[in-house]
Structure 1
Amino acid sequence: MRLTEGTPSRLGASWDGRGTNFALFSANAEKVELCLFDGQGRRELERIELPERTEDVWHGYLNDVSPGQLYGYRVYGPYAPERGHRFNPNKLLLDPYAKRLVGRLVWSDAHFAYRTGSAREDLSFDRRDNARGMPKAAVVDESFNWGRREMRPHIPWEDTIIYEAHVKGLTQKREDVPPNLRGTYGGLSSPAMIEHLKRLGVTTIELLPIHGLIDDRILVEKKLANYWGYNSIAFFAPEVRYAQDNPLDSFRTTVARLHDAGIEVMLDVVYNHTAEGNHLGPTLSFRGIDNASYYWLNRENPRFYDDFTGCGSSVNLTHPRVLQMVMDSLRYWVEVCHVDGFRFDLATTLARGPNGFDRGHAFLTAVRQDPVLATAKMVAEPWDLGLGGYQVGAFPSQWSEWNDRYRSAMRRYWSGEGSLIGDISSRMTASSDLFHHDNRATRASINHITVHDGFTLADLFSYNEKHNEANGEDNRDGSNDNHSNNCGHEGPTNDPAINALRRQLRKNALACLLLAQGTPLILAGDEVANTQNGNNNAYCQDNETGWVGWENLGSEDDFIDFVGHLTALRRRFGQIRCQRWLDGRRGDGSYGVLWLTPSAEEMKESDWKFPESRFVAYVLGPMEQGQAPIFVVLNAAPQEIAFKMPKMPEYRSWQQVLNTTRTVQTAEQFLSGVETKAPPRAVLAFAGAP
């Protein structure tokens, strides 16, 4: 028999070497049809009703279907938006477990389950077939030869330095990457990029979303795109636009090569919403398969969605099958693609229950106990846009979190704001006020000053205002709260003094980022003063604005070796990477950290309240016998400040290991107790010497 009942045990299309099992979850459907297409996805060859339903999984096995076969689903059931159901079998739907997408979405009104323009809006019903303009899922062969040499790096958290990058944007303008690899998965692991990452000393590349995605219709009509990729529709399929040929194999080849170079790969994942948007959005997959199961529906009127994400709807992980899909996706990327970790966009949404964020949520519990995910790095963006959505410091101990409090404090400090030394001291020592609880370690704080969302580092000190006009929203989009400083001129200038100041502030920010306890995250391109010309929301700019510009390589704005020096200091001084929380002076005279006044006296409460203070100095004590302490000085004041080197019986002198005002770092020696001066707006560091 060609068609048999198959099994519900594995969702999606699973080829076993002889045939393919198809399984689709839908609790509220009445019938499910599997639709097979020709090799180009243009012609529907046949429709096959899945013969069995087991615990809300519809399934069937076809013994003549092999890898490469294109398919989709048509799902039958009530079209009753007022009850939360939006079934429409006229709409071809993507398999939520699709491993490969073929073809692109060609926008038309046929993708909407209702009659667009109708006075009844989504309460109307559309009978047009959308299959011709839909991408199709393809059956895949998941086998892959990783080779005997491919070894996952397993970088310890304390050694981790993250580099956030966009697959296309990182290499599209990089001239030493072969032209055929620029903007692709392969470009990430090209010899030039691997050398670049090694020079910087980063350990982990974090990629903006690569799940299969859709470009919003409104952006396409403006000739823009969902460049960043936060518009997922296929949580198992690598996005095809970054691949030269087979996306799955292209991505896995890149992972293998980066692993061979000792570099981890993390993925930014977007499980909190999908590309289907709000109640007036298209019906592409989840909405037409089982809208009432996949999404948070408004309790009072299930026609509408609870939107915690700002994207029109929110995925509901309280449903066990939806939770299963997310967990299956995470395991797939770890087991099949050898990914090393994940950064979860708007992670608060994933742990929402009926009463808001829940630290005991089934999702967090599932992650904690999953053996496949046990060694994966898990990072939360710990907020969403819903009530009670800001949850920095609230995730379980297995998680690290983006620390926007670090970002805000450092931006304000180096932009010239005074009276921040108490906040700065906490942010430089892993933000214990946020994370020192429930056996969490210092790695819980993911420190960053710039990320994809917001100004680049160069723009942070070049613009006071955002300039997002190219996004087509009259400059209304993007944050207005940037804590930036244009140093006296908005945008580019030929004034040498302003440009020198901007370079100095960028170096200071990078120095603080890599000298701070916690886990540092560097935005790709900041090492070469990449600019977005003041655009702080380049999500739709798949062009020169959004791509990293490498034209400053070899110029005075090239900080690659400077960053490499900072990462080397981080490796040298274990107390910066320490996962234990610091204490002050101990009973035996030893210490974790000593906070010092400019006269090298230990700070008292009154010293922390010094008006308009901009000077911070502290010593991190040695962690083990023979290790040197490190003395760090931050001077954000616009003038020199005299200070004394610390007096410690066991250290006769201090060797300078960092001075951000110097082009070349020199190892000057300073005797203990001697007075010297911190240059204006500078970061200094010294190693204790016997």
Structure 2
Amino acid sequence: MSIGARPPQVTASGTMFRVHAPDASALWLCLFDAHGGETRVPMRQEGDGVWQVEAAGVGVGARYGLRADGPYDPPAGLWFDPDKLLLDPYATAIDRAFIYDPALAAPRGAGPDTAPIMPKGVVEAQLPSVAHRSPLFRPGGLIYELHVRGFTMRHPEVPPAQRGTIAALGHPAVIAHLKALHVSAVELMPLTAWIDERHLGPLGLTNYWGYNPVSWFAIDPRLAPGGMAELRQAVDALHEAGIGVILDMVYNHDGESDRDGPTLSLRGLDPRSAFRHAAGGSLINDTGTGNSIACNAPAMRALILASLRHFVQQASVDGFRFDLGPALGRLDHGFDPRAPLLEEMRADPVLADRILIAEPWDIGPGGYQLGHFPDSWLEWNDRYRDDMRRFWRGDAGTIGAFATRLAGSSDIFPNGRTRTVNFLAAHDGFTLADLTAYAARHNEANGEQNRDGHGENYSWNNGVEGASDDSVIRAARQRDMRALLTTLFCSRGTIMLCAGDEFGRSQQGNNNAYAQDNAISWIDWEGRDQALEAEAFALAALRADEADLHGITALTDDDVDWLDETDSPLTVAQWEEPERRRLVLRYRASGLAICVNGASEACRFSLPHGDVDVAARSIGVSRPER
């Protein structure tokens, strides 16, 4: 995994394998025939911790793994065990999905050989590299976050054989929906192979989201039976429709978990380089998953960069979103936006022009880094999420924060260009519909006594006091969803919509559905709220048509006027009114006006080009005749 490690390379006489394992005393390439028979080929150490062997006669389609011997001392961070078959960290394909088994975590000498229960790497002939092209996505557009499986599992127009796979994203019905929303790029939740957390099996659950990776190259065969070729075809279809593709990558930890976790790949080959350790060798856990990848160690930088280049050169993806992004820039003294890995990403000729998006927080020391990533990055803006939720929930004193977020969050991104990714809901947390229907989480199906997931969601149960008619309650909730969607589509900067929120999908109040590979998470296309969907399509068309709305400079007082409902400038005293729920943002150049009425009564807004009536808890948009 240093400069010398790389994916298997097919040669004229066989295949060359190169692996980084500096603390190993012996390393074997393990080749498997169609019946599971194993042939072990010793590898030789070539220097810089790299072991290699050219396996004569081994070609495309060969199935293989690795075994390593060396010191076994888990308290010191060493897990060498030749009974554990290991996945090559650079393997570009695997023959089947990972399934957790306690034997994978058995101490050395206490468990069986794991070869029968481990997926094998598959030697591939790499697809011809795609021609380098600029990303289709541009900041200021609409990112549409989706889970490949859940997005199409219940789609009636997608052929059953394609449902739940990457191939389904190229289906005309899927692309038509994305185009109706004016989606600039889809953001695909993790595609690379992952494993279940060990506590899920006894609960009868599996990891659905995929944020527990074992490989950073191999696509999980459950999502792409056709592997990289299937991803490339889907990307080509989306690109043909003018839609970019962003991959959600998880480099902050791997699925080998804590001291008692399974030995699958990095842990059994290069644990001291791969993971961050405290004094004495214990694993640092800045991710809440059991381990933290040492992203700025030379070996891991090389692995991460090679993984990113792999997806650009093989599938022409437009960019990446990074889960728990501070891990990429964490050095011994804390997060540094000039950390070697971040600098190398921008210097790399393949990656330099890609869209890079940070989830700018983790649970480590100094882990909240919103606004602190390099200037070329975009960042998920959770303060936008929370401030907008609190305003529409009716919290006092939130009008100023609402206006700041609507205008591009210049307090967070102060240098003119706003790098915000505005969102109201994402895969992690309540859906937009559940935000207006549940005051508290309902995660009982996760088997953790409703203790998991976020406790403070700034949500509300809009039951409409005194209402006994379900239709009245549904109408009130739909009104609030319309207000939230309108807020998002009228916000300055890049916006992100979570798939299905445009038509009111629900997860039954579950705000941490990572283990719900079932109807709780799968989008119900036939049961969608088509009236809300039509509203979302109209808002998307408005945003696409109005350059003011998708600009990427934060608004200043030179750009807009902030007015009350009588068309008078808001005074300092009005801004400070705890109960103020109304304002107008009017663009000086175009006259476009966004009329916000968060009050419980309808309001008539006076504007130079005509009055605008805005219903209670709603937003009106007024455009002068052109």
Q: Output the amino acid matched with 2:354.
A: A
Equivalent residues of 2:295, 2:301 under 8 A apart:
yes
The answer to whether residue 612 in structure 2 is matched with residue 638 in structure 1 is no
Q: Aligned residues: percent identity?
A: 38
Cα distance between partner residues in 1 of 2:148 and 2:12: 33
Q: How does 1:310-329 map to 2 (within 5 A)?
A: 310-329=288-307
CA gap of 1:106–1:505, structure 2 versus 1, over 3 A, is: closer
Cα distance between partner residues in 2 of 1:178 and 1:493: 42
Secondary structure of the residue aligned to 1:218 is coil
Secondary structure of the residue aligned to 1:195 is helix
Matched residue, 2:115:
131
CA gap of 1:77–1:489, structure 2 versus 1, over 3 A, is: farther
Matched residue, 2:48:
55
Which of the residues 565, 577, 601 maps onto 1:598? 565
Q: Output the amino acid matched with 2:572.
A: E
Shift of 1:286: 0.5
CA gap of 1:226–1:522, structure 2 versus 1, over 3 A, is: same
Which of the residues 337, 348, 372 maps onto 1:370? 348
CA gap of 1:151–1:684, structure 2 versus 1, over 3 A, is: farther
Shift of 1:493: 8.9
CA gap of 1:497–1:127, structure 2 versus 1, over 3 A, is: closer
The higher radius of gyration belongs to 1
Cα distance between partner residues in 2 of 1:547 and 1:126: 40
Q: Output the amino acid matched with 1:56.
A: G
Bigger shift: residues 276-285 or 220-229:
220-229
Matched residue, 1:269:
249
Deviation per CA, 1:599-654: give whole Å up to 9, x if none.
212222222112311112111233xxxxx331111111111234321x4xxxxx2x
The answer to whether residue 507 in structure 2 is matched with residue 532 in structure 1 is yes
Q: Output the amino acid matched with 1:619.
A: R
Shift of 1:330: 0.6
Cα distance between partner residues in 2 of 1:228 and 1:189: 21
Aligned length: 624
Bigger shift: residues 312-321 or 599-608:
599-608
Shift of 1:127: 5.7
The answer to whether residue 581 in structure 2 is matched with residue 614 in structure 1 is yes
Equivalent residues of 1:462, 1:489 under 8 A apart:
no
Equivalent residues of 1:112, 1:126 under 8 A apart:
no
Deviation per CA, 1:303-343: give whole Å up to 9, x if none.
x2110000011000121011110111011111112111111
The answer to whether residue 618 in structure 2 is matched with residue 688 in structure 1 is no
Equivalent residues of 1:619, 1:629 under 8 A apart:
yes
Bigger shift: residues 562-571 or 541-550:
562-571
Shift of 1:352: 0.8
Q: Output the amino acid matched with 2:213.
A: S
The answer to whether residue 581 in structure 2 is matched with residue 679 in structure 1 is no
Matched residue, 1:118:
none
Q: Output the amino acid matched with 1:161.
A: L
Cα distance between partner residues in 2 of 1:106 and 1:458: 33
Equivalent residues of 1:552, 1:558 under 8 A apart:
no
Equivalent residues of 1:163, 1:205 under 8 A apart:
yes
Deviation per CA, 1:152-204: give whole Å up to 9, x if none.
67335245210000001000001011111111111111111011111111111
Specify every segment of 5 or more residues in structure 1 that has no aligned partner in the other structure, as ranges.
1-6, 116-124, 585-590, 623-627, 648-652, 654-669
Matched residue, 1:100:
93
Which of the residues 407, 410, 418 maps onto 2:385? 407
Secondary structure of the residue aligned to 2:536 is helix
Matched residue, 1:513:
488
Matched residue, 1:441:
417
Equivalent residues of 2:5, 2:19 under 8 A apart:
no
Matched residue, 2:57:
64
Shift of 1:582: 2.4
Bigger shift: residues 169-178 or 562-571:
562-571
Matched residue, 1:498:
473
Equivalent residues of 1:454, 1:478 under 8 A apart:
yes
Shift of 1:529: 1.0
Matched residue, 2:268:
288
Cα distance between partner residues in 1 of 2:21 and 2:267: 11
CA gap of 1:580–1:17, structure 2 versus 1, over 3 A, is: farther
Equivalent residues of 2:77, 2:271 under 8 A apart:
yes
The answer to whether residue 16 in structure 2 is matched with residue 12 in structure 1 is no
Cα distance between partner residues in 1 of 2:486 and 2:517: 30
Which of the residues 471, 477, 482 maps onto 2:452? 477
Q: Output the amino acid matched with 2:535.
A: F
Secondary structure of the residue aligned to 1:406 is helix
Shift of 1:69: 0.4
The answer to whether residue 211 in structure 2 is matched with residue 238 in structure 1 is no
Secondary structure of the residue aligned to 1:334 is helix
Which of the residues 187, 192, 197 maps onto 2:168? 187
Q: Output the amino acid matched with 1:602.
A: P
Equivalent residues of 1:402, 1:447 under 8 A apart:
yes
The answer to whether residue 544 in structure 2 is matched with residue 568 in structure 1 is no
Cα distance between partner residues in 2 of 1:173 and 1:161: 24
Matched residue, 1:74:
67
Bigger shift: residues 592-601 or 469-478:
592-601
CA gap of 1:21–1:575, structure 2 versus 1, over 3 A, is: same
Matched residue, 1:297:
277
Shift of 1:512: 0.7
CA gap of 1:17–1:618, structure 2 versus 1, over 3 A, is: farther
Deviation per CA, 1:254-295: give whole Å up to 9, x if none.
111111111111111100000000001011111110111100
Equivalent residues of 1:68, 1:138 under 8 A apart:
yes
Shift of 1:686: 0.9
CA gap of 1:402–1:26, structure 2 versus 1, over 3 A, is: same
Cα distance between partner residues in 2 of 1:106 and 1:505: 42
Deviation per CA, 1:339-388: give whole Å up to 9, x if none.
11111000111211111111221111111211211221100000001121
Indicate the structure whose relative CO is greater, using CA pairs within 8 Å and at least 6 residues apart: 2
